[in-house]
């Protein structure tokens, strides 16, 4: 039986937000107005109960199935799909204040010369310009919000955020192992990130507004 892509009932707002993001992805690379995708991922920390047997010549590494839970942390992921740049931050939480500090780093550290940073993100309650006013004095918050242009994916449309693609690559290449603490997690992520940035690994997005109007035509009025 042929499987069909199941899309929940959506309205005009879904279409508007989807096309807003797709039109943004269609624009060429612009160092003055970079497009950056932002998302977060919870990460469970796990340690070994029995120490693993290390790899030896002609012998694979052995690991016991039993593990200890060591708590949780959060990964903030930023990626510029056409620029081949990404940054991953390990934090304890993902509150509005944590989000605000990520936005400040984006403006002041990662893209200080940009005129405006167009950022794609989901509708999590902490992902708002108001978060910057919670975290910083009025002048500082307003300075940052002037440099940030927020583009939100629609509800049920998180697949439109290319940061999810980068998180998937990170999970497959770096996180498929037991990591017991945040310091070790940072040490594992750092070379992965540096290598991806050195290669300027880009994300090629092939789903356009025209494709959406054809393939998802049932979302549009007839």
Neighbours of 198 (CB within 10 A): 9
Pair 94, 126: CB distance under 8 Å: yes
The string of pLDDT tens digits covering residues 43-100 is 988 765 556 556 667 666 665 555 577 789 999 999 999 999 999 999 999 999 999 9
Percent of the chain with pLDDT over 90: 74
The verdict on pTM exceeding 0.85 is yes
Please, which contacts does 22-26 make with residues 24 or more away whose CB atoms are closer than 8 Å?
22/160, 22/207, 22/208, 22/209, 22/212, 23/209, 24/118, 24/120, 24/151, 25/81, 25/162, 25/205, 25/208, 26/208, 26/209
So what's the pLDDT on residue 58? 66
Could you tell me the fold of the domain covering 13-48+64-203?
Answer: Nucleotidyltransferase; domain 5 (3.30.420)
- Residue ranges of the alpha helices (H) in the chain? 12-25, 96-105, 130-135, 138-147, 163-174, 182-199, 209-215
So what's the pLDDT on residue 59? 67
Q: Name residues whose C-beta falls within 8 Å of residue 179's C-beta, 6 or more positions apart in sequence.
A: 43, 45, 46, 185, 188
Q: Name residues whose C-beta falls within 8 Å of residue 98's C-beta, 6 or more positions apart in sequence.
A: 74, 76, 91, 126
Q: What are the residue boundaries of the structural domains of the chain, listed by start?
A: 13-48+64-203
């Amino acid at each position: 039986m042929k499987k069909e892509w199941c899309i929940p009932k959506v309205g005009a707002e879904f279409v508007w937000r989807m096309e807003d993001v797709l039109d943004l992805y269609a624009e060429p690379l612009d160092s003055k107005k970079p497009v950056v995708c932002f998302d977060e991922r919870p990460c469970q920390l796990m340690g070994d109960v029995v120490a693993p047997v290390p790899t030896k010549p002609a012998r694979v590494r052995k690991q016991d199935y039993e593990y200890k839970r060591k708590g949780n942390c959060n990964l903030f992921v930023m990626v510029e799909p056409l620029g081949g740049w990404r940054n991953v931050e390990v934090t304890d939480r993902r509150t509005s204040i944590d989000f605000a500090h990520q936005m400040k780093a984006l403006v002041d550290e990662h893209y200080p010369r940009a005129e405006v940073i167009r950022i794609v993100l989901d509708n999590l309650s902490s992902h708002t310009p108001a978060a910057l006013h919670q975290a910083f004095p009025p002048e500082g918050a307003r300075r940052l919000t002037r440099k940030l242009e927020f583009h939100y994916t629609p509800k049920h449309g998180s697949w439109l955020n290319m940061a999810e693609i980068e998180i998937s690559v990170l999970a497959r290449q770096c996180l498929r192992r037991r990591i017991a603490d945040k310091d070790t997690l940072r040490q594992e992520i750092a070379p992965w990130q540096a290598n991806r940035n050195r290669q300027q690994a880009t994300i090629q997005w092939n789903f356009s507004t025209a494709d959406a109007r054809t393939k998802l035509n049932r979302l549009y009025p007839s």
